[in-house]
Each structure stands twice: as C-alpha cells, then as structure tokens.
Structure 1
Amino acid sequence: MEPILTVSHLQKVYGARGSRTQALTDLSFSVEEGEFTGIMGASGSGKTTLLNCVSTIDRPTGGAITVDGTDLTTLKGRALSRFRRERLGFIFQDCNLLDTLTGFENMALALTILGAAPKAVDRRVREAAGLLGLEGVLDKFPYQMSGGEQQRVAAARAILTRPALVLADEPTGALDSKSAGQLLRQLSALNREEGTTILMVTHDAFTASWCRRILFIKDGTLYRELHRGAMDRKSFFTQILGVVSMLGGDSADVL
C-alpha cells in the first residue's frame, strides 16, 4: 500500500538572484495512512513552509509532493482547487469560522459546497459533532462558544469531507492549557478510532507528545525522527524536549 503522503527531494527558494533564501533543501519523508505525525523545528527551519507546500498554499521550487496517489505539483487551476477541497482538511491556529453561521452551519459548509444532499449533510455533521463532543454548540454562533469549542468545530469541519489528509498548523496556539488538552484528546481519538491521518506543525513539545511520530526539520531538511512506539506520553514528551534543546530550545517558526 502506498503512503498517503510522500514528499520527495522537496526544495523551496524565496527571492531572486542575489537575494535568495533556501527555505527547504532536499527534504524527503512519507506518512502512512492512519498516522498522527508532528513536524517540529527551530525558528526558520522551514516547517511552516513545508506545510504551505503540502497544503498547496505555496508551490515548491523543486521535488514532488504526492497525496493519495496524486502529485500535487502537477495540478493547476480547477483541478488543484477541487483536490484541495475534496482530499485535504485544514485546521489553523485561527479557526476561521464564519461569525454569521451557527456551529452546525459552519461545519456543514464544506459539504454544502461539494453539493452533498441535505440528509447526508445533517447526518454527517451530527456524527462529527458526536465524535468531537460538540452536540451542545450546533445552534450556537462562534461568539457564544469558547475558544476550544471553536477549534473543535474547525476540526469537525476539516474531517467532514473525509479527506485523505488533515493538515493542522499550530492548532493549540491560541488556546489555554485546558482547551488545548481537550482538543488534542479529540484529535488523538479521531486518529485512533476513525483512522484519520493527521500532519501537524507545532512548536510546543506538549502538543507534539500526542503524536505517534515526530519529524524534526533543521535548515530545510530532515534532521531527526522520533517514534513513540510503546512509550507513554510523558516519556515521549521528555524525548521530544531533548531533541528541541539540541535544536536550540526555540521552536517558534518565522517561515
């Protein structure tokens, strides 16, 4: 079986001759179906640039990105938009909910755009709400929800189209510790019980400790890889901290 995501010799250069920044340099890795993989790295390492390329927000300078058997670097126009809409799910630090829509309507939006039948939309929204503990916010507007509830609505919206890959960019960055823990438990449950494949960029070791594997990026290339295996989360957290300290301690990203 092919991996859900394959990144092959990826390169990304910003700027023109005389003022060039090499953000990614010959980066290669793969993510299997059902994995929960984290991306970490020091400031300027290129981890957000990587996520931007995988999410098709940015185009790589060289190399290939294959998701669910499709090379994203060959897609353009409507084909690219359709693939992004149907096969990728997104969870951002800013949950990007529409203020004038209820929780139900925000979640249903992705399916409505795809032309799903009303009965199917209702069923799948309520199923996702059940998985993420959101039954109580379906009739609420975003301003009536807590930050954690808003992020879980965004997570539900991301999985409703049953994407091949969910991309999460610092999903706990704007949350307090209690809300962050709740969101991470729900994402972990989605991965474990529903087989949702998740690739998550984070600067935070606690957040990363919920993953099953961590890829550390340094100077635009793969530096080290950690597998959780049979370790408990506390032990994995300690291992992650050790690598972060070798990387300089600061895992915030500027790219």
Structure 2
Amino acid sequence: MKPVLTVDNLEKFYKNKGNITKAVNHISFEVQEGEYVGIMGASGSGKTTLLNCISTVDRVTAGHIYVNGKDVTDRKESALARFRREELGFIFQNFNLLDTLTGRDNIALALAILGEDPRKIDGMVESVSRELGIEKIIDKYPYEMSGGQQQRIACARAIITNPSLILADEPTGALDSKSAGMLLESLSLLNEEKNATILMVTHDAFTASHCKRILFLKDGQIFNELVRGTDSRKEFFDKIMKVVSLLGGEKSHAF
C-alpha cells in the first residue's frame, strides 16, 4: 500500500480579538490507499477544521498536507480548484445537490466539469448507479427523493470521477437510521470492492463502526486511535463507545 494522504505536523490557529484558538495543534497521520478511516471527537475538538484543511477549503497555519506525495498546502487557488476537481470526492451532510437537475444530471455534472467525453458520460453514470442501487431514482429531481436517496446520489457524484480520496463530512447526520444504514453499506462496498480510500468525520459511534480505523481528536490533537482488525462491527462499536465516554462524547445509535 502507498499513502494517499499524509498530514505532517499540521497546525490551524484562529485569532479573535487578540485571543488565539488552536483548532488543530500539531497533528500528523497517514491514510493508506484503500483505507476507510474515521475521525471522531466532541464538538470543538477540531475534526471539521482538520477536514477543511485537508480539502484545502481552509489554509493551514503551519505544517504540510500531501496527497499522492504532492504538497497541496502552498498551491495557488487556481491550482487548488483543479486539485479538488481531479483528486477529491466530497460527501456532505446536506447533500448539496442542484435542485434544477435530475439525479442523473447531478452525477454527470462532475464528469462534464472534468471535460470527460460526452459520449461516455451516460454509460459511466449508469454503471455507478447500478453499483449503488439507485438506477430507479436517477431521473428524479432532488425534491422527489428521500434524504437517503439524495445522499446516495451525492455519493455517486463523489466517486464517479475515481478520486484519490473521498472526504465525507457527517454523511449520515441528516438521515434516519434506515437511510443511514443503506448509505454506510454503500460506502463499505465501495471501500471493499472498489478499493476506495475514504476519510470520514462523524460524531456517531454506529457510523464510525463501519470504518477500519478511527482517529479520536481532543483539543485539536490526536487523543487515541483504534484499529478494527479482526473485530466484528459490534465489538468495534463497543470499543469506540469506551473511548467516546472518555472524551465526553455524544450518544450514539446502538446495535
């Protein structure tokens, strides 16, 4: 395996009326190709700021972020926009679909922006739709879909460009338990069968139990790390809950 993501001594500070908040404080870790890694922590722990830095939405204060060995922390905005389009796939809590486009067109838009051959786009959309089991809904508009269906369309949009890294920010946060379970099964399938590399921020232990490794943040630093290994998902969930209780985290869905 090779490291898709390397975070090296990362710092992100905010200044407000003379006060400095260390949102991310000397964090280092790697995500290998084909890994499914979760980031957990209480509100204010720095997990969202960390994801924003990795996605280059926020500029880092110090340290470096490497994707496929290339430093992305010192690039100009035009180069960063291209990097996001070509290397990253995004799954947001609130779906971020365009209401005036069907599911098919929302997915296809990601390919059109990259300049993919228009003759190939429809076949690629059909293929990813079959993989995620959304063939019957891709010609609906977002307002005609449930939240879970919208999120699976968003998932298809994120993976259709074959990004190096999929970044998921609380992807189940706006879903009911059944829809969340279906989405998580889809992500696990992508990881196991397509070798997709996924980095997911979540506050929910049930969601995190689908990952293969968890990084726990506290006060902007890595507090603990768990590797699932040969554990069942229930066993991994129980271990996650023990760490969450030490962090003073929120309640979670249970098995």
Q: TM-score range by the shorter chain?
A: over 0.9
Misfit runs of 4+, over 6 Å: none
| TM-score, reference length from structure 1 | 0.96
Q: Name which structure has the greater RCO, CA cutoff 8 Å, separation 6+.
A: 1
Deviation at 1:15, TM superposition (A): 1.0
Cα offsets for 1:78-125 (capped at 9, x unmatched): 111101111000000010111111110000001011111112211211
Q: Please tell me whether the aligned partners of residues 42 and 251 of structure 1 are also in contact (alpha carbons under 8 angstroms).
A: no
Structure 1 window deviating more from structure 2 (225-234 vs 243-252): it is 243-252
Correspondence list, 1:209-224, <5 A: 209-224=209-224
Q: Please tell me whether the aligned partners of residues 2 and 69 of structure 1 are also in contact (alpha carbons under 8 angstroms).
A: no
Correspondence list, 1:25-64, <5 A: 25-64=25-64
Total equivalences in the alignment: 252
CA–CA separation in structure 1 for the residues paired with 2:6 and 2:121 = 31
CA–CA separation in structure 1 for the residues paired with 2:179 and 2:47 = 24
CA 1:251–1:84 in 2, change beyond 3 Å: closer, same or farther?
farther
Deviation at 1:2, TM superposition (A): 3.6
1:111 partner amino acid: L
Deviation at 1:251, TM superposition (A): 8.0
CA–CA separation in structure 1 for the residues paired with 2:197 and 2:243 = 24
SS at match of 2:216: strand
SS at match of 1:20: strand
CA 1:26–1:17 in 2, change beyond 3 Å: closer, same or farther?
farther
Q: Please tell me whether the aligned partners of residues 88 and 163 of structure 1 are also in contact (alpha carbons under 8 angstroms).
A: yes
| Equivalent in the alignment of 2:203 | 203
| Equivalent in the alignment of 1:76 | 76
Q: Please tell me whether the aligned partners of residues 40 and 251 of structure 1 are also in contact (alpha carbons under 8 angstroms).
A: no
Cα offsets for 1:179-214 (capped at 9, x unmatched): 000000000000000000000000000000000000
| TM-score, reference length from structure 2 | 0.96
- Aligned-residue CA RMSD (Å): 1.3
SS at match of 1:250: coil
Q: Please tell me whether the aligned partners of residues 36 and 199 of structure 2 are also in contact (alpha carbons under 8 angstroms).
A: yes
Deviation at 1:74, TM superposition (A): 1.7
Unaligned runs of 5+ in 1: none
| Equivalent in the alignment of 1:123 | 123
CA–CA separation in structure 2 for the residues paired with 1:179 and 1:109 = 24
SS at match of 1:21: strand
CA–CA separation in structure 1 for the residues paired with 2:148 and 2:109 = 20
CA–CA separation in structure 1 for the residues paired with 2:198 and 2:251 = 20
SS at match of 1:235: helix
CA–CA separation in structure 1 for the residues paired with 2:43 and 2:170 = 14
CA–CA separation in structure 2 for the residues paired with 1:214 and 1:203 = 11
SS at match of 1:73: coil
CA–CA separation in structure 1 for the residues paired with 2:54 and 2:191 = 19
2:38 partner amino acid: G
Q: Please tell me whether the aligned partners of residues 41 and 251 of structure 1 are also in contact (alpha carbons under 8 angstroms).
A: no
